[in-house]
Amino acid sequence: MNLADNFDIGLVTRYIDTSLLFTGDDFLGPEALRSTEADQQLFTRGTAHLVSFEGVFDQIVGISYTKFNQRDFDPNTPDALASFFDGDRLKTDWQGNINLIPGQVLNAEHQLDEITVPVAEITDNAVMAQLQSGFADRLFNAVSVRYDQYDTFGGKTTFRIAPALLIPETDTKLKGSVGTGFKAPTLAELFQNFPSFNFFGNPNLKPGTSIGFDLGFEQALLEKRLQFGVTYFHNNIDNLINVNSTATSFENIGRAITYGVESFVAYTPWEPLTLHADYTFTIAKDDILDQELLRRPKNKASLDAAWHITEKAMLSATLLYVGPWVDVNRAGTVTGLTGNQYTLVNLAGSYDLGNGVTAYARIDNLLDRHYQNPIGFLQPGIGVHAGIRVAFDTASGGGKP
């Protein structure tokens, strides 16, 4: 909502209430009685956006609040075991863009995560600076630095440098990046339990750290109607937070490596139709034990087609392929299994009815494939969804809806 020419505010709220009946596991197989799970989640975020000094300084202040309650009840245990996980998250953030130098961004944020069952909390205060630069419309670079200060895990500085070289004579782009990462365990990873599946949080988890790089290129042909590219990536990770070998909890893997290739091809045979194909090959392994990490498929591919029939109507189709992966059974009692590959077809369409109203429909898993991901968890078959989306223009002065 615009309150002035240079000041606006925003508010988003979402509430989810779900109830689930499911069959858990014990060491003999599926349990005799179904377990229940009840979840309530509330998400809300407010923002204030101010542009000052004739556009030189552009800043946004935001505050977000999340509340969640989860109840798991397993009637098959001698004492009818119940699991509770209640908590909330409060986050305040600020972003400032200084337009004297394009691409100069400053960020600061404060985040408090806490749970009441069990009682625990994590606080993170962070600052980040980013600077984008260019030379002769050919050489570009983005540099960012971030510092996080956790009350429970200490402080850590991370960075990313991402240069790119454009060659307009051949429509070629050469790109790369190098950076570090830091991932603190979440409260869910530390304390959330799912006793029906013999899966429990691990309060002894340590933060994971990483350093990685990528190198690649993008090429355009046929007056940019055909584009393709390939990128190689490589990451070295210490204390990777991952599901353990029996899928009963999380653990730190002392040293892990992920590397592979991402590639794409995009083709526009004529203006209304766009075809896009992606393929990713990934190796992810425990570098100490020289074993593949669980639930990391080596091969993933997708093919998307988007057809703008008219200015208002659009149809799209997606073909998704996921290759085999290493897994365990649902109870974590059998290891060394291989998850079966699967292929899905999804369709979607939309029509702009005008005045901010759009009708949409989609069909997920059109061929009604029966597949498990991960092993032991059957995914939904064919699903048909339709609805109406409404967008309101709240600009000052009484804009049209």
Domain spans of the chain?
206-401
Once rounded to an integer, what is the mean pLDDT over residues 226-251?
Answer: 94
Look at residue 168 in the predicted model and tell me its pLDDT.
94
3-class DSSP assignment, residue 372: strand
State residue 134 phi and psi, 5-degree precision: -145, 155
What does the pLDDT read at residue 400?
37
Tell me what the mean pLDDT of segment 199-221 comes to: 96
**pLDDT tens figures, 20-76:** 898 877 766 678 888 898 999 999 999 999 999 888 889 999 999 999 999 888 888
Q: Please state, in angstroms and rounded to a whole number, the distance separating the CA atoms of residues 339 and 316.
A: 29
Closest CA to 375 of 347, 344, 336, 343: 336
Q: Look at residue 398 in the predicted model and tell me its pLDDT.
A: 39
Is the backbone of residue 356 left (phi > 0), alpha (psi -120 to 50) or beta?
left
According to the model, what pLDDT value does residue 28 have?
A: 67
- The angle subtended at Cα 56 by Cα 52 and Cα 62, nearest 5°, is 55
**Which residues are within 8 A (CB) of 229 and not within 5 positions of it... i.e. 6 or more apart?**
173, 216, 217, 218, 219, 263, 264
Cα 345 from Cα 381, distance rounded (Å): 11
Residue 29 structure tokens:
């197989």
| CA–CA dist 2, 97 (Å, integer) | 19
CA-closest candidate to residue 292, choices 261, 258, 322: 258
Question: What is the tens place of the pLDDT at every residue in 304-329?
Answer: 999 999 999 999 999 999 999 999 98
Nearest 10 degrees: CA dihedral of 365, 368, 373, 378?
130
Mean pLDDT, to the nearest integer, of 197-213?
Answer: 93
Predicted confidence at residue 320, as pLDDT, reads 98
- Among 1-10, 136-145, 251-260, 347-356, whose mean pLDDT is lowest? 1-10
Give the type of residue at 43.
F
> DSSP class of residue 191?
H
Q: Which residue's structure tokens are 């004739």? A: 54
Q: Does domain 206-401 have CATH number 3.40.50.300?
A: no
Please say if the pLDDT value at position 357 is more than 90: yes
| Structure token digits, residue 91 | 């986050």
Token pair belonging to 6: 């240079």
Neighbours of 15 (CB within 10 A): 10
